[in-house]
Amino acid sequence: METDYDILILGGGPAGLTAGIYAARARRRVLILDTGTLGGQTVLTHAVANYPGVPTTTGRELSQAMAQQARDFGCEIKAFARIASLDLSGEVKSVTLKNGTRLTARAAIIATGGVPRTLGVDGEDRFTGHGISYCATCDGDFFTGLPIAVVGGGNSALEEA
């Protein structure tokens, strides 16, 4: 069975880029597709201080380094890809882009990540990563000793506080 790639990875955040690095190191033909900029939610992180072996950096810089490492190992990467349809049944997996290009592989990895639930208030976009955070585990230390507000529903907001 002839395919364009061995593995199609849908999602160019940390999980997708890491999967690509490992697959390419195993000499697989890899394509990473992302519908936006590479790095996922990591690019929104102002300071990453908890990544082992890496001095404090920005989420954007870390994402760029991961993407470059994936390319260095031979991954092909398409950011801002517009996917029209997927067919993950059968031996050959396929992705059809909105421009009509059909891409095939023997395997697919879904690494589409998550999207934070926003409030939709004025200024929220401007202050995301500069006072507004969607990950207490990631960013909580930056706010130690400062007055904060935690917004959320159910037990999760209380646990994050």
* Residue 11 covered by a domain: yes
Question: Residues 145, 97: one domain?
Answer: no
Question: Residues 145, 88: one domain?
Answer: no
pLDDT at 79: 94
Question: Residues 74, 103: one domain?
Answer: yes
**Cα gap 64→139, rounded to integer Å:** 20
Question: Residues 103, 129: one domain?
Answer: no
Question: Residues 46, 79: one domain?
Answer: yes
Residue with tokens 């023997």: 106
SS (H, E, C) the chain: CCCCEEEEEECCCHHHHHHHHHHHHCCCCEEEECCCCCCHHHHHCCCECCCCCCCCECHHHHHHHHHHHHHHCCCEEECCCCEEEEECCCCCEEEEECCCCEEEEEEEEECCCCCCCCCCCCCHHHHECCCECCCHHHHHHHHCCCCCCCCCCHHHHHHHC
Which residues are catalytic, by number? 135, 138-139
Domain tally, the chain: 2
Domain span holding position 70:
5-110
Taking each helix axis from N to C end, the angle separating 14-25 and 59-72, rounded to the nearest 10 degrees, works out to: 20
pLDDT at 8: 98
Question: Residues 97, 32: one domain?
Answer: yes
pLDDT at 150: 85
* Residue 80 covered by a domain: yes
* Residue 90 covered by a domain: yes
Question: Residues 87, 32: one domain?
Answer: yes
Q: CATH code at 74?
A: 3.50.50.60
Question: Residues 59, 90: one domain?
Answer: yes
Of 77, 66, 69, 71, the closest CA to residue 33 belongs to 77
pLDDT at 152: 78
Token pair of 36 as six digits: 């936006």
pLDDT at 37: 86
pLDDT at 14: 94
Q: Which residues of the chain have pLDDT under 50?
A: none
Question: Residues 101, 136: one domain?
Answer: no
Question: Residues 76, 142: one domain?
Answer: no
pLDDT at 64: 95
pLDDT at 46: 77
**Cα gap 73→51, rounded to integer Å:** 21
